């Protein structure tokens, strides 16, 4: 009988040990699960922070709230200079020179306007910057201009007036071009280092002449645009940026 009691005690003890072991395993499993979930949450949060930091460091979420002073003088719709083709996406800004020394922004505007009657060629530009730094807009930024050949469909164009045959922009024209380009870059989420190009970069044409022939002057121009964004822009969240872009497009027909 005594042996039987011992056996029962041993069995009870064994059962207790098994129960203890099960509880211990359960606890280990529970802690492992909590640990894994914590690691996943932290990783996701860290990746988001990194992504936000990256966006903030670039220009994609920089905004220049103050719109440059623009004289909006849209061309009459016509097949030679304002074909009203929708520009669904803006992937770049193309800088040109008028190749017509001493002419004013309005003379160039009127030349584009006159093409509807003369039918002489297909030509236009979204913006023209004059010798006094005035900015004249000919085409809404929602439409194509006839300026940049194969890139008409996804870029905005800026024609700059110049005083002489060197094609160099005077200070007023240059400064307005920097300001307008910077503002457009922030408005369309473009990087001045890679998305601001010359007509030359598309077709090899000597346009804008001075900035094709003086590579360092072109590099300096892009740096000036980047510096302008840094000094005049404010960093905003992706949501605020989206809201701003929407607010700039009343009824989807942005200028």
Q: Which residues bind Zn ion (CB under 5 A)?
A: 96, 199, 207
What is the rounded distance in angstroms from the CA atom of residue 95 to the CA atom of residue 106? 18
Rounded least distance, CB 249 to Zn ion, Å: 27
DSSP-H helix ranges across the chain:
2-57, 105-118, 171-188, 192-195, 199-203, 209-213, 215-232, 238-247
| CB closer to Zn ion, 38 vs 100 | 100
| CB closer to Zn ion, 96 vs 126 | 96
Rounded least distance, CB 147 to Zn ion, Å: 6
| CB closer to Zn ion, 63 vs 87 | 87
- How many residues can be counted in the chain? 255
Rounded least distance, CB 123 to Zn ion, Å: 10
Rounded least distance, CB 40 to Zn ion, Å: 53
Tally of CA atoms within 13 A in the half-sphere of 162 that contains its CB: 21
Query: What's the burial of 165, exposed, middle or buried (CB within 10 Å: 0-12/13-18/19+)?
Result: exposed
- Tokens at residue 161, please? 């007036």
| CB closer to Zn ion, 87 vs 207 | 207
């Amino acid at each position: 009988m005594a042996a039987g009691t011992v056996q029962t005690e041993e069995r009870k003890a064994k059962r207790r040990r098994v129960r203890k072991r099960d509880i211990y395993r359960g606890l280990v499993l529970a802690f492992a699960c909590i640990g894994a979930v914590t690691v996943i949450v932290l990783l996701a949060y860290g990746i988001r922070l990194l992504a936000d930091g990256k966006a903030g460091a670039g220009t994609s979420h920089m905004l220049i709230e103050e719109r440059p002073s623009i004289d909006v003088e849209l061309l009459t719709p016509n097949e030679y200079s304002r074909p009203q083709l929708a520009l669904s996406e803006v992937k770049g800004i193309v800088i040109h020179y008028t190749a017509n020394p001493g002419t004013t922004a309005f003379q160039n505007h009127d030349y584009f306007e006159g093409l509807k009657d003369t039918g002489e060629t297909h030509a236009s530009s979204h913006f023209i910057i004059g010798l006094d730094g005035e900015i004249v807009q000919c085409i809404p930024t929602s439409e194509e201009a006839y300026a940049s050949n194969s890139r008409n469909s996804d870029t905005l164009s800026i024609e700059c007036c110049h005083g002489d045959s060197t094609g160099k922009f005077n200070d007023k024209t240059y400064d307005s071009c920097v300001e307008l380009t910077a503002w457009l870059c922030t408005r369309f989420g473009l990087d001045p280092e890679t998305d601001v190009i010359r007509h030359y970069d598309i077709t090899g044409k000597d346009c804008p002449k001075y900035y094709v022939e003086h590579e360092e002057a072109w590099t300096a121009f892009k740096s000036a645009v980047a510096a302008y964004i840094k000094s005049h822009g404010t960093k905003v969240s992706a949501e605020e940026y989206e809201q701003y872009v929407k607010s700039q497009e009343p009824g989807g027909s942005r200028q």
